[in-house]
Structure formats: structure tokens, C-alpha cells
């Protein structure tokens, strides 16, 4: 009975799918999990990678009905698997950041009147004033970013935590205003992916949290409220289209009776939803300052909780609200695992060679040979042409030398651009490449920090469940982290490499310029 009192559901709506996990906060175990892949499981939405194909490579929009269909499907899957949905005491969630959903003036009524007899995507098809949602991969707003820079200037970064960024919501809203003024005029509410899905769960109008709200170029993080002059400079009348801003620890509302058909209890408290990166921060057990997270994925990210509000002096990184209170930093490096994969494939070696052998065959520092595998235009640092950069004849070098050069180059660049992210002595590493002994040792040596791997795979969904347990059940984040995020591996920095890598920081900086 005691265990049944402590079940919490976490949902994560990412670019490519929706994940659900039910945690037992009492025993520290996963009670159930399910997932939906947008492309494979819902092919009728014509979005193999989670967004709609578009002839313009800068345009990346998704169909919000796809996210609704996925919500019905993932809950149906949990139910079919016999998950203990009736005992869930609270629900939390996270969404891909920056993506926005535009609702017309019928939305409030239709959300309140959800009918269990029909699927969400059918009964909510008419609530949108913009048929598609721009997502974080969209980069079609270069002109709007320039306009916001001109209109607001440096204050944008100083008060919202980020300069104007193409994928951020404010520039996207401005583009909508410019390209479809009638559609903008028909808009009654603009939600983030996270607050939209929370709104559906409660059949109402959920607040935006400061974690995800900070990804909009609209939230004054110093004040924890929308910045009226910035909203005005973005689009006229925007302030009244924005939902309330919720405080960390807050509740969005009570679960709508619609969801009783899956076995969930109507009225179950739904915590404020947040962005996937803020959710990952807590899901990785890194909600307190002192531990930074390095996530090695399609893009690599470095993020950490920090105390006193400050921003990246170079203007590349972002500040978001920390769901546990305070703020978090995030630096995003576009050339992550795809770049490593290309270096490996071009060298004609397998992953064991890339992950380990290459590092056994070469010395730390690689005799000064470094490479920056920027096959895609990099965003940290931004504004440099794409292409591989090396300070030696890369193509002619042995495979092991190339691999160490690329991994050390990437890692030194991560270190160079994350000096501002917050104080830490530990790096928690996650993502596919965290299996590589060579990468882990390089991280430990370059950052001179203890490197920990933990067993968590879906850190955003797990973090969403933590947020549910904390905000609706009063469970402490420290308890959750201790139970769910134990360290499974540790790599210590070798002090004798500290000077070597410190010396190479200057060289990588020169190569970036």
C-alpha cells in the first residue's frame, strides 16, 4: 500500500517521439514505461523524423495533432501493458524546447469539454490559429533575429538569458505575424509544446514554467515574469496572448476526466511542464550546483545548475530556469555524435577502435595535433564557416591520430565555451558516446573534473517524473537523485595532464577564429 502511494508519471514529448515512465518514489524503481515513435507509430502524420517535410531546409514545422495522437497512444500503451495508472499520484512532463502552438478563441471551450468518446486529435483539430508549429530545428527567422537585435539590443541577453536566437519562440512569433497577419490576429493564446500538452491534460490553460519559458526570448529571468517591452517589440499585443508564468514547484491544474479512460484518476494533480533540458538536469541528479551534465548526442550539450544569475559573456550559451529553483546554464554544440561518426567512418575503423584503441595508441595531447570536426555550421561558437579544421595534414594522418585530434578538439572547445556555465567539480556524462573510455578520460583530463556515468537513459522523462513527485507529492529532489541516479562508473582526472590541456586551449581558440 505504501508503495502505491508514491507512483508518479513523467512524460517527455521530444522531436521524434513521446516517452512515458511511471516511477515508484518510495522504492526508487521504475514501475512502468512506454514510448511512441512519431514516424514509425503514427505514419499518417507524414513526419518520419517528427516534423513535416519542407522544400526549404531552414523550415522545420511539426503538426501539433501528431503530439495529441501520441499522447492518446502512449497512455493506451501503458494501459494495455497493465501499468498501475489508477495509483498515479501526480503527473509531470517536458517538451522539446522553443516549439510553439497557436490557439484560436475556440480552444478554451473545447479543451474544457474534452469528450472521452473521441480521440484528442479529432476533437481538437479546430483549435489552432496556425496549422503547424515551428520547432527548435527551424532556422527560418534570420531576419526577425536581426530586427529584435536592433529593437531590443543587449538587454535581450542581459534580462532573458539569451540573445535573439533563430529557434527561440519570440523570433518565430514575429515571423508568424509578418507572414500571416490574419492568422496572428486570430490567435488567442500561444503555448510552448510543454505548456500546450499540460493544458490538454488539465483541459485548461496551463502556465509556462521558467525552465521552458526562458527559451522564448520573452521572459525576464531576473523578474520571473514576461518582459512587456520585449514582448511589444516582438509583436504588437503579444503580452495578452502569453499564458501565466508559473513558479518553480508549481502545479498546472487537475487532470481532466477525459483521461479516466486510461485508468488515471480525474483530478490527479499535474505539475507545471518544463523543457526537456531543464527536465534532464533534474533527471540526471544534477539539480544542485556542483555537478555539470555533459550530454553526448546528435548535438552535445553542457549544462549545470547555478546560484547567481549571470549570462555567457560570449553570447552563445543560454540561461533557463531550474525546475528545482534558481537557474541553469546550457551550451549547445551542434557537431556532436554525427561528427564523431563521420570521423570514424572516414578513418575506416570500428567503434571499439574509436572508443578505446585510438587512445591507447596515442599520447594525451596528441603532440599538439588538434581538429575541429565542424561538418555542420557550428552554433557554439556561431558565425564561422562549416568544414573540418585541423592544425596538421588530417587526411594523411593515421586513424588513431585523427580520432584523438577530433575528440580532444571537441572537448577543448566544450571547455573553452563552458567556463561560464557554473562552478563544478564533477561531470555527469550521458548519451550514446558515454560508452567510450577514451572520451570519458579526455573529458576528465581537459576539465580536470571527476567524470561520472549513471544508469539513466531517458533523463528528460525521468526528470519529468521527479518534477511530478516533487511538485505534487512533496518528495525531495535529493532523495529522488539518490534513489534513481546512482553512479555506475567513475573516471578521475590525471593531474599531470592539467598543464598540457590548459596550454592547448589557446591553440583551439586560435583554430576557431
d(CA 176, CA 91): 32
Tell me the DSSP string of 433-460: GGG-HHHHHHHHHHHTSEEEEES-S-HH
91-99, 259-267, 305-313, 421-429 -> range binding ligand XUL (CB under 6 A):
91-99
Q: Which residue has the cell 472521452?
A: 116
Instruction: Please write down the HEC assignment for all residues of 212-250.
Output: HHHHHCCEECCCCEECHHHHHHHCCCHHHHCCCECCCCC
Residue 447 CB partners (closer than 8 Å, separation 6+): 411, 415, 427, 493
Nearer to ligand XUL, 33 or 332 (CB): 332
Q: Which of 159, 276, 378, 445 binds ligand XUL (CB under 6 A)?
A: 276
Q: Is 274 in the site for ligand XUL (CB under 6 A)?
A: no
Q: Which of 100, 277, 401, 441 binds ligand XUL (CB under 6 A)?
A: 277
219-227, 274-282, 414-422, 467-475 -> range binding ligand XUL (CB under 6 A):
274-282
Q: Is 298 in the site for ligand XUL (CB under 6 A)?
A: no
x/- string (CB under 6 A) for ligand XUL, residues 121-150? ---------------x--------------
Tell the smallest beta-carbon distance from residue 460 to ligand XUL (Å).
Answer: 8
Q: Do the bridges between strand 300-306 and strand 327-333 make them parallel or antiparallel, or are there none, so unpaired?
A: antiparallel
Q: Is 295 in the site for ligand XUL (CB under 6 A)?
A: no
Cα–Cα distances in angstroms (integers) from residue 316 to residues 56, 86, 333, 334, 419, in the given order: 25, 45, 10, 12, 12
> What stretch of H or E contains 176?
helix 169-179
User: What's the sign of the alpha-carbon dihedral 202, 205, 210, 214?
Assistant: positive
249-257, 269-277, 433-441, 449-457 -> range binding ligand XUL (CB under 6 A):
269-277
Q: Is 459 in the site for ligand XUL (CB under 6 A)?
A: no
Q: Is 15 in the site for ligand XUL (CB under 6 A)?
A: yes
d(CA 321, CA 308): 12
What is the chain's length? Answer: 513
Tell the smallest beta-carbon distance from residue 271 to ligand XUL (Å).
Answer: 19
Q: Is 91 in the site for ligand XUL (CB under 6 A)?
A: no
Q: Is 162 in the site for ligand XUL (CB under 6 A)?
A: no
8 A C-beta contact, residue 169 and residue 218: yes
Q: Is 97 in the site for ligand XUL (CB under 6 A)?
A: yes
Nearer to ligand XUL, 213 or 215 (CB): 215
Nearer to ligand XUL, 243 or 336 (CB): 336
Nearer to ligand XUL, 165 or 397 (CB): 165
Interaction with ligand XUL in 202-231: which residues (CB under 6 A)?
215
d(CA 461, CA 464): 5
Q: Is 410 in the site for ligand XUL (CB under 6 A)?
A: no
Nearer to ligand XUL, 87 or 299 (CB): 299
Nearer to ligand XUL, 220 or 299 (CB): 299
Q: Do the bridges between strand 290-296 and strand 300-306 make them parallel or antiparallel, or are there none, so unpaired?
A: antiparallel
Interface positions with ligand XUL (CB under 6 A): 14-15, 96-98, 136, 167, 215, 275-277, 332
Amino acid at each position: 500500500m505504501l508503495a502505491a502511494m508514491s507512483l508518479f508519471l513523467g512524460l517527455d514529448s521530444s522531436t521524434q517521439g513521446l516517452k512515458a515512465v511511471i516511477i515508484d518514489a518510495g522504492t526508487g524503481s521504475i514501475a512502468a514505461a512506454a514510448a511512441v515513435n512519431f514516424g514509425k507509430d503514427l505514419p499518417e502524420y507524414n513526419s518520419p523524423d517528427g516534423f513535416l517535410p519542407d522544400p526549404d531546409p531552414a523550415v522545420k514545422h511539426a503538426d501539433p495533432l501528431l503530439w495529441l495522437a501520441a499522447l492518446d497512444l502512449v497512455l493506451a500503451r501503458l494501459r494495455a501493458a497493465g501499468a498501475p495508472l489508477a495509483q498515479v499520484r501526480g503527473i509531470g512532463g517536458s517538451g522539446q524546447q522553443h516549439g510553439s502552438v497557436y490557439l484560436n478563441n475556440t480552444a478554451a471551450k473545447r479543451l474544457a469539454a474534452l469528450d472521452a468518446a473521441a480521440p484528442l486529435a479529432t476533437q481538437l483539430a479546430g483549435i489552432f490559429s496556425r496549422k503547424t508549429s515551428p520547432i527548435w530545428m527551424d532556422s527560418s527567422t534570420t531576419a526577425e533575429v536581426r530586427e529584435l537585435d536592433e529593437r531590443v539590443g543587449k538587454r535581450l541577453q542581459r534580462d532573458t538569458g539569451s540573445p535573439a536566437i533563430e529557434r527561440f519562440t519570440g523570433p518565430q512569433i514575429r515571423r508568424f505575424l509578418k507572414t500571416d497577419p490574419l492568422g496572428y490576429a486570430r490567435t488567442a493564446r500561444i503555448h510552448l509544446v510543454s505548456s500546450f500538452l499540460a493544458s490538454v491534460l488539465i483541459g485548461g490553460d496551463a502556465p509556462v514554467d521558467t525552465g521552458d519559458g526562458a527559451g522564448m526570448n520573452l521572459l525576464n529571468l531576473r523578474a520571473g515574469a514576461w518582459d512587456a517591452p520585449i514582448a511589444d517589440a516582438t509583436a504588437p499585443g503579444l503580452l495578452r496572448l502569453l499564458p501565466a508564468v508559473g513558479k518553480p514547484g508549481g502545479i498546472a491544474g487537475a487532470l481532466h476526466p477525459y483521461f479516466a479512460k486510461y485508468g488515471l484518476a480525474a483530478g490527479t494533480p499535474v505539475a507545471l511542464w518544463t523543457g526537456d533540458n531543464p527536465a534532464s538536469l533534474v533527471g540526471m541528479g544534477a539539480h544542485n550546483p556542483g555537478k555539470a551534465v555533459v550530454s553526448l548526442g546528435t548535438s552535445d550539450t553542457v549544462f549545470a545548475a547555478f546560484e547567481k544569475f549571470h549570462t555567457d559573456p560570449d553570447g552563445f550559451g543560454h540561461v533557463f530556469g531550474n525546475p528545482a529553483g534558481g537557474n541553469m546554464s546550457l551550451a549547445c554544440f551542434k557537431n556532436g555524435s554525427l561528427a564523431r561518426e563521420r570521423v570514424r567512418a572516414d578513418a575506416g575503423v570500428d567503434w571499439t577502435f574509436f572508443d578505446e584503441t585510438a587512445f591507447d595508441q596515442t599520447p594525451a595531447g596528441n603532440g599538439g595535433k588538434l581538429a575541429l570536426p565542424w561538418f555542420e555550421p557550428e552554433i557554439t561558437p556561431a558565425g564561422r564557416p562549416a568544414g573540418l579544421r585541423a592544425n596538421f595534414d588530417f587526411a594523411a594522418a593515421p586513424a588513431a591520430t585523427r580520432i584523438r585530434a577530433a575528440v580532444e578538439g571537441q572537448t577543448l572547445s566544450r571547455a573553452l565555451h563552458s567556463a561560464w556555465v557554473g562552478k563544478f567539480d564533477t561531470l555527469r556524462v550521458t548519451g550514446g558516446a558515454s560508452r567510450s573510455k577514451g572520451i570519458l578520460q579526455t573529458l576528465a583530463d581537459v576539465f580536470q573534473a571527476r567524470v561520472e556515468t549513471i544508469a539513466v537513459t531517458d533523463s528528460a522523462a525521468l526528470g519529468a517524473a521527479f518534477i511530478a513527485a516533487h511538485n505534487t507529492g512533496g518528495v525531495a529532489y535529493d532523495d529522488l537523485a539518490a534513489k534513481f541516479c546512482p553512479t555506475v562508473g567513475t573516471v578521475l582526472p590525471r593531474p599531470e595532464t592539467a598543464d598540457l590541456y590548459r596550454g592547448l586551449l589557446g591553440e583551439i581558440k586560435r583554430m576557431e577564429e
